[in-house]
Amino acid sequence: MGKRGLKRMGDVQGFSTLDVVALGFFLAAWSGYHLAVEKLGPARRSLNTRMAEFRRAWMREALVRENRIVDSTIMASLQSGAAFFASTSLLAVGASLALIQATDTALALFADLPFGVAATRLAFEAKVFGLGVIFVYAFFKFAWSYRLFNYAAILLGAVPQDGAAPRAHEAAMRTAEMTIVAGRHFTRGQRAFFFALGYLGWFVGPWVLIVATAAVLIVMAGRQFGSDALSALGPA
């Protein structure tokens, strides 16, 4: 199929070639950031990795504490944070569904914007569907994180009171690793929220999606690799 045929197909579906490029940039930015923070070499210097070390240090301290009320309180706080964001994700999914029902009103609103790009009903609803998928993904991540923090609380209760008991250190490290996994899924859910902000730019136009995604990427990378929070942890 030639370029003219591809262009006609894009016009029929309501998406231009630039829309496809912008969406590809959005997906590449999300995937690239995920790899940089969790898989590749830079991950060793990220804020998340440094905090994982402190989660292990937390469990080592809990191992020698006679009273673990403080540790239980911290665990409950982590659970409540995951539960809050899971509930927020469901609200966002509901808002996306409501936005589909208000397609005509939304199209009229965007058409009045001086810098907006005219969109067809099909294109608009497809964009809203994509936004809903992002929030559904975030919900699953937050809900699973909540469940994992629940498991971590159980593992914490299974750590022997006597820190010198056989396999006590192993039990504490097992708890630490569970909190790290729970925190990783929580972070992925938050990441979806941040990139959803960039995705909103697509409703205005593909160039806005590219710029908004780049802005989100720069802010998030700065927080992971060059923020004052990372500096507060001291040298690695």
Grade residue 175 by pLDDT with cuts at 50, 70 and 90: very high
CA–CA separation, 180 vs 73, rounded Å? Answer: 17
226, 235, 208, 202: which is closest to 123 by C-alpha? 202
pLDDT at 204: 83
When comparing pLDDT for 68 and 185, which is higher?
A: 185
Angle separating helix axes 69-101 and 47-64, nearest 10 degrees: 140
- For the residues 125-143, what does the mean pLDDT come to? 94
> In this structure, are residues 165 and 140 in contact, taking their beta carbons and an 8 Å threshold?
no
Per-residue confidence at 8, pLDDT binned at 50, 70, 90? Answer: very low
pLDDT bin (cut points 50, 70, 90) of residue 10 is very low
Does the pLDDT value for residue 23 go beyond 90?
Answer: yes
* Average pLDDT value over all residues in the chain: 86
Q: 218-229 b/e with 16+ CB inside 10 Å = b?
A: eebbeebeeeee
| Token couple for 50 | 């440094």
Residue 114 has pLDDT above 70, yes or no: no
Number of neighbours of residue 99 by Cβ within 10 angstroms: 19
Confidence of residue 148 (pLDDT cuts 50, 70, 90): very high
**Distance in angstroms (rounded) separating the CA atoms of residues 72 and 52:** 18
Length of the chain measured in residues: 236
Q: Please answer whether residues 181 and 148 qualify as being in contact, where contact means their C-beta atoms are separated by less than 8 angstroms.
A: yes
Nearest to 216 by CA among 229, 228, 227, 200: 200
pLDDT for residue 25 is more than 90: yes
Output 25 or 228, whichever has higher pLDDT.
25
Distance between CA atoms of residues 65 and 200, nearest Å: 48
CA distance 158 to 178: 13
Amino acid 141: pLDDT: 97
**Confidence (pTM):** 0.87
Token pair for 129: 């569907």
DSSP 8-48: HHHHHHT--HHHHHHHHHHHHHHHHHHHHHHTSGGGGGSHH
Q: Which two tokens stand for residue 25?
A: 């940039």
At residue 128's C-alpha, the angle toward residues 126 and 130, to 5°, is 70
Could you give the CA distance from residue 14 to residue 210 in angstroms, rounded to a whole number? 18
Interval 192-206: pLDDT, tens: 999 999 999 988 889
Helix ranges, 159-205 (H): 168-199
Residues in Cβ contact with 21 at an 8 Å cutoff, skipping those fewer than 6 apart: 206, 210
